[in-house]
Chain A
């Protein structure tokens, strides 16, 4: 059903979720966005530890061409703030990552994690209830046994749909450092969790044991030079995973090689361009996200200024590099001062791996069409939020005369950042998270 991205793909506004007012409550800041494997469900996690799941509606009678209407399906508190008494440290309840499990039965399962603990949640529907108990009244009070004179079989009667979320597993106490990634294996039995220095392998059924598969902690912490920033399992090779580092390298590991995968099978690294060297070279080369393509042949990495596509068969350089916001290179010092240089942008592939997307500042997000060598900058804003309103491409003026409709670099709002984006696996529907709002866009079907 995925329309080809030929010609000029246009995007329309579909919906926006979240509070309208400018005063953003910290707990409402969206920290992760993820479609499930069919795209029917869209999950968001926030800084307050809550998970909100939206479900795609089959048909909208008012706007039949709006195939991307998502409505709230379930909301639950996944994580609460905790306190580590031994270290006198507060553990934030912010949801760092949500990953869906492939559906096996009527219920849906997802993994959600904060800095220290991963939880497996079961989301199930209940649309029937039992009626006609012998021992209980309608309201649940127990009947006087002496008043019961006959016996009947309770029947199941329809009720309003209720969606329940229950924590089925809690995977705790396995990470000393802050968890940055969770990835479900293609075997559907195991998953990995990665923190700054270690990666652990879990079985989804077993919570009291995990296997450490990567450990880059040096014997002497003063010799620390790099940390793990992201990790992911290969989409169809259950023995393969990658992890990226703060030094801009990606290591591909094969779990068949040894129990501890400290020695990589492949090391992906691009030599630094010496003319770009500055105080901040290390920070901007740190990889904030790594994602395999759906076909498993490529992976994409995001660093502060660019998106790189790597062919898994070629380690010495990426096959494609896309500049997200190169105009920021001369502003790195200011971005360091206002902390923006530490922002961790994510990136994502579309369903057929022909287009990649990532966020930027001023509520801009960027799409790079690999096939047609085209890129576009779009904006998520309430000003462009009429139903099916087509988004106009945006342009940042990098110097010289500013044309009409262009925005100059100095006018960009660095508080409005899009860190999390997601693409429906089977359709041209995207979810883009601004600070506390979730925008859903769909492509304009031509003809």
Chain B
């Protein structure tokens, strides 16, 4: 592997991540239900791509944020022979069946142990309690999750108690292990 820059790797990782996510969504409507083997393989690819994506972004613009993740150097991104451990162990999901549908959920951040708040029914306008860091910026490869507005329409805050937060920007921090507990 020569002459492949961190930039190329980043672009590739981004694309693979986008493709993987769309496959994951598509597999939910597949006849016969979610296939465990396929979901596992998808999550493995996504994890590799996500880690490389983060590593590449690190090497492009190092941020002096709270170091919640191991800082990978750009050279390591190129010769990664092992998958690094996920940076935080997520809480086990009590309601496993919904885990696969929570791909965009921000509940990932509950791993700090706080469960006192009802994070599911949070209004979109509420200040998110996610950790700030390099991962929280919206990845540019994801399609916008918000509905397209017709001319003349206005966006308004959803009332409390409505569907859980659509937080596409936390996609890269989500635990890919969440895919599996759907079973």
Contact = CB atoms under 8 A, between A and B. Distances in A.
B43 to A, nearest CB: 9
A336 B12 CA distance: 13
B146 interface: no
A196 B37 contact: yes
Interface in A208-224: 220-224
Contact of B33 (A90, A221, A223): A90
Closest 4 CB pairs of A and B: A222-B177, A92-B32, A89-B33, A196-B36
Interface in A49-89: 84, 87, 89
A283 interface: yes
B34 to A, nearest CB: 8
A279 B96 contact: no
Interface of A: 84, 87, 89-92, 94, 115, 176-178, 196-197, 220-227, 229, 246, 274, 277, 279-280, 282-283, 286, 333, 336-337, 339, 342
B166 interface: no
A246 B41 contact: yes
A170 B71 CA distance: 56
Given A229-B37, A279-B48, A280-B45, A221 B19 contact: no
A336 B81 contact: no
Given A91-B32, A196-B36, A279-B45, A222 B180 contact: yes
B175 A222 contact: yes
B33 A283 contact: no
- Chain B interface mostly helix, strand, loop or mixed? helix
Interface residues of B, number: 32
Nearest to A224: B180
Nearest to A283: B41
A280 to B, nearest CB: 7
A286 B37 CA distance: 10
A92 B92 CA distance: 30
A280 B47 CA distance: 11
Nearest to A87: B33
A260 B135 CA distance: 44
Interface string B30-59: 011101111011001100110010000000
